[in-house]
C-alpha cells in the first residue's frame, strides 16, 4: 500500500526529529559544559525533558493520523469504472 503524506504531516515529522535531536543535544550539553553560573544544569535538563515530551506528543499524533488515513483508504469503497 502506498503511503500518502500531507504537507502538514511531513512538517510534523521533521519537527519531531528536530525536537528530539535538540533535546538530546541539551542533555549532552548539561553534562559536558562546566558550571559557569549562567545556566544551571537543572534548567538544561528540564528544557530537554520538555522538548522530548513535545516531540513524543507530536510523534504520537503523527503516527495515529497516518494509521487512520490508511484505514480510511482501506475501507472506503472505491469507484469501479465498469462498463455496463
Nearest to 25 by CA among 60, 55, 61: 55
Examine residue 79 and state whether it is found in any structural domain, yes or no.
Answer: no
Q: Count up the domains in the chain and report the number.
A: 1
What average pLDDT does the chain have? Answer: 75
**Cα 32 from Cα 41, distance rounded (Å):** 10
Examine residue 76 and state whether it is found in any structural domain, yes or no.
Answer: no
pLDDT of residue 39: 67
Examine residue 40 and state whether it is found in any structural domain, yes or no.
Answer: yes
CA 69 from centroid of its chain's CA atoms: 17
Examine residue 51 and state whether it is found in any structural domain, yes or no.
Answer: yes
Query: Could you report the per-residue pLDDT of 35-69, keeping only the tens digit for each?
Result: 655 667 777 788 878 878 887 887 787 788 778 87
pLDDT of residue 63: 80
pLDDT of residue 7: 84
> What is the domain extent for residue 53?
7-71
Q: For a pLDDT cut of 70, what percent of the chain falls above it?
A: 80
Examine residue 47 and state whether it is found in any structural domain, yes or no.
Answer: yes
Examine residue 13 and state whether it is found in any structural domain, yes or no.
Answer: yes
Amino acid at each position: 500500500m502506498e503511503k500518502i503524506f500531507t504537507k502538514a504531516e511531513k512538517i510534523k515529522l521533521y519537527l519531531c526529529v528536530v525536537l528530539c535531536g535538540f533535546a538530546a543535544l541539551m542533555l549532552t550539553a548539561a553534562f559536558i559544559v562546566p558550571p559557569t553560573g549562567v545556566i544551571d544544569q537543572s534548567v538544561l535538563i528540564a528544557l530537554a525533558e520538555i522538548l522530548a515530551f513535545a516531540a513524543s506528543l507530536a510523534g504520537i499524533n503523527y503516527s495515529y493520523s497516518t494509521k487512520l488515513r490508511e484505514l480510511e483508504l482501506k475501507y472506503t469503497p472505491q469507484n469501479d469504472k465498469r462498463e455496463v
